[in-house]
């Protein structure tokens, strides 16, 4: 939910909570043994979850609600039988939405006490399963879903959900659209694909508020089960049983695939901000995002007009070789003049992949103060995002700084 508080839920009513950014997790009593398929928190206290009851009649959805951060959960059966809500979203404490199977797009304006089916146009694709709902603001919203080998479907509303309009048949892909990202009210990116891996990951976009959609299949086989942005430009999507992620650093225009750690099956990914993120999957799989190491200068005041010691590599992106330029400075503080400080310092530059694995040591030696330009040969590396980090040990403290670079084929 934020950089400290978060919840994950799943099989047999499992509900876990963290209050320290994922360093530790506490098991909460969800008061159900049903599988929990989605959980949403509006703030650190108020949350809802959707669970599937297949064990006792009446079969359908059981909605869970907490007002104290999950210490206590209360249950309420969704009033219509044999409807299974895949996603749940609240805009405030009273107004919320759920989407489900075999077809349901429902809203509440009393905090979940009652629900009403939304008004959807009567087009051919209107009544398909709903897998995801996103609102840009109180007026503009989108939902996505569909059925495998039949159609992927996207719905849109411009009046706060009073009316929903479905994608034109001519724009619809053949498989479900699992997740959406709303850049603004007009520009939307959706992700899905073929669960049988016979075709590439499917991406669908609009730049006119959903009037028209463009669909493309990547040359990467699989099905994107989720989609979330780290920054405005960097986005990640898990491919589930393919045991891979795909990612883009240009807002979803170009994509690269990478294996998940330990070949883990991942179905959902969520970033609270650019430094905190988690990914989860079956059998208790949970990954924590490790961001690039930030700049740390430890009260050093270097000479020159530029306080950075590590500069952006060039060219970037690169194919086989790139140059990394850095400065070894003569630091000083308010009590020590620069002319009496040592002019030799231990310098180390390491290269890491996106999972934090060390792939190369470019520099590991004592260097005199000055400017350096070191070539880095990456012909043996696969295409993707890498980080290079410099550590300089000064007598007044250490400087650590990092940048990202992109290797292309």
Q: What is the pLDDT along the chain (409 residues), one digit of tens a residue?
A: 788 899 999 999 999 999 998 989 999 999 999 999 999 999 999 999 999 999 999 999 999 999 999 999 999 999 999 999 999 999 999 999 999 999 999 999 999 999 999 999 988 899 999 999 999 999 999 999 999 989 999 999 999 999 999 999 999 999 999 999 999 999 999 999 988 767 899 999 999 999 999 999 999 999 999 999 998 888 999 999 999 999 998 899 999 998 998 889 999 999 988 878 999 999 999 999 877 654 444 444 343 334 457 888 888 888 888 999 888 876 555 444 444 445 678 899 999 988 888 999 999 988 888 888 888 998 889 888 899 999 888 766 778 888 888 888 7
What range defines the domain where residue 391 resides?
A: 321-407
The answer to whether residue 304 sits within a structural domain is no
Does residue 326 share a domain with residue 278? no
Query: Cis (ω within 30 of 0) for the bond into 102?
Result: yes
Total of domains in the chain: 2
The answer to whether residue 330 sits within a structural domain is yes
- Cβ pair 130, 143 in contact under 8 A: yes
Does residue 139 share a domain with residue 194? yes
Does residue 266 share a domain with residue 338? no
The answer to whether residue 224 sits within a structural domain is yes
CATH number, domain with residue 210 = 2.120.10.30
CA 374 from chain centre, in angstroms, equals 34
Does residue 270 share a domain with residue 402? no
**Whole-Å CA distances, 65 to 9, 35, 49, 81, 307:** 13, 15, 7, 19, 50
The answer to whether residue 62 sits within a structural domain is yes
Q: Which run of H or E residues covers position 345?
A: strand 344-353
- Cβ pair 321, 381 in contact under 8 A: no
Check residue 293 and give its pLDDT.
52
Kindly list the strands in the beta sheet with 130-135, ordered across the sheet, starting from the edge strand earlier in the chain.
130-135, 141-147, 151-157, 165-166
The answer to whether residue 85 sits within a structural domain is yes
First to last CA, the chain: 37
CA 360 from chain centre, in angstroms, equals 27
Does residue 240 share a domain with residue 131? yes
CATH number, domain with residue 378 = 2.60.40
The 8-class DSSP code of residue 301 comes to B
The answer to whether residue 309 sits within a structural domain is no
Check residue 318 and give its pLDDT.
87
Which residues face 328 on adjacent strands? 370
The answer to whether residue 305 sits within a structural domain is no
Kindly list the strands in the beta sheet with 277-280, ordered across the sheet, starting from the edge strand earlier in the chain.
268-271, 277-280, 286-288
Does residue 377 share a domain with residue 269? no
Count of C-beta atoms within a 10 Å radius of residue 210: 22
What is the C-alpha to C-alpha distance for residues 393 and 10, in angstroms, rounded to an integer? 46
Contacts of 70 (CB under 8 A, 6+ apart): 7, 15, 17, 28, 30, 47
Burial 350-374 (b: 16+ CB within 10 A, else e): bbbbbeeeeebebbeeeeebeeeee
CB burial class (10 A; 0-12, 13-18, 19+) of residue 18?
A: middle
How many separate helices (H) and strands (E) can be counted in the chain? 0, 32
Does residue 367 share a domain with residue 263? no
Does residue 245 share a domain with residue 346? no
Supply 235's token pair: 């986005």
The phi, psi pair for 87, rounded to 5°, reads: -145, 150
Does residue 272 share a domain with residue 228? yes
Check residue 306 and give its pLDDT.
45
Mapping DSSP to helix (H, G, I), strand (E, B) and coil, where does residue 84 land?
A: strand
Check residue 221 and give its pLDDT.
92
Place of tokens 């040990």: 393
Check residue 332 and give its pLDDT.
52
Does residue 349 share a domain with residue 208? no
């Amino acid at each position: 939910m934020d950089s400290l508080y978060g919840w994950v839920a799943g099989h047999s009513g499992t509900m876990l909570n963290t209050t320290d950014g994922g360093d530790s997790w506490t098991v909460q009593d969800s008061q159900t043994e049903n599988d929990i398929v989605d959980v949403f928190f509006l703030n650190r206290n108020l949350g809802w979850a959707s669970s599937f009851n297949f064990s006792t009649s009446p079969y359908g959805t059981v909605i869970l609600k907490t007002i104290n951060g999950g210490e206590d959960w209360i249950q309420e059966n969704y009033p219509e039988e044999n409807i299974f809500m895949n996603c749940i979203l609240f805009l405030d404490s009273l107004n919320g939405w759920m989407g489900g199977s075999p077809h349901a797009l429902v809203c509440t304006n009393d905090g979940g006490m009652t629900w009403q089916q939304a008004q959807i146009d009567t087009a051919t694709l209107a009544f398909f399963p709903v897998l995801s709902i996103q609102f840009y603001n109180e007026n503009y919203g989108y939902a996505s879903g569909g059925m495998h080998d039949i159609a992927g479907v996207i719905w849109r509303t411009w009046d706060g959900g009073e009316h929903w309009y479905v994608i034109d048949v001519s724009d619809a892909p053949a498989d479900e659209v699992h997740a959406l990202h709303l850049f603004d009210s007009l520009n939307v990116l959706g992700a899905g694909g073929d669960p049988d891996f016979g075709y590439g990951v499917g991406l669908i976009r609009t730049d006119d508020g959903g009037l028209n959609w463009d669909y493309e299949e990547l040359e990467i086989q699989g099905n994107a089960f989720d989609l979330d942005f780290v920054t405005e430009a960097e986005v990640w999507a898990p491919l589930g049983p393919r045991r891979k992620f795909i990612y883009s650093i240009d807002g979803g225009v170009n994509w690269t695939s990478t294996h998940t750690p330990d070949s883990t099956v991942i179905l959902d990914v969520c970033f609270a901000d650019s430094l905190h993120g988690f990914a989860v999957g079956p059998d208790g799989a949970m990954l924590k995002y490790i961001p690039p190491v930030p700049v740390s200068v430890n009260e050093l005041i270097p000479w020159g007009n530029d306080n950075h010691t590590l500069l952006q590599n060039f060219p970037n992106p690169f194919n086989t070789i790139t140059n990394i330029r850095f400065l070894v400075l003569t630091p000083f503080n308010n009590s020590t003049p620069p002319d009496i400080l040592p002019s030799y310092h231990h310098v180390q530059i390491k290269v890491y992949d996106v999972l934090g694995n060390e792939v190369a040591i470019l520099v590991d030696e004592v260097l005199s103060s000055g400017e350096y330009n070191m070539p880095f040969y990456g012909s043996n590396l696969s295409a993707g995002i890498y980080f290079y980090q410099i550590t300089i040990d000064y007598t007044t403290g250490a400087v650590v700084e990092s940048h990202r670079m992109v290797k292309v084929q």
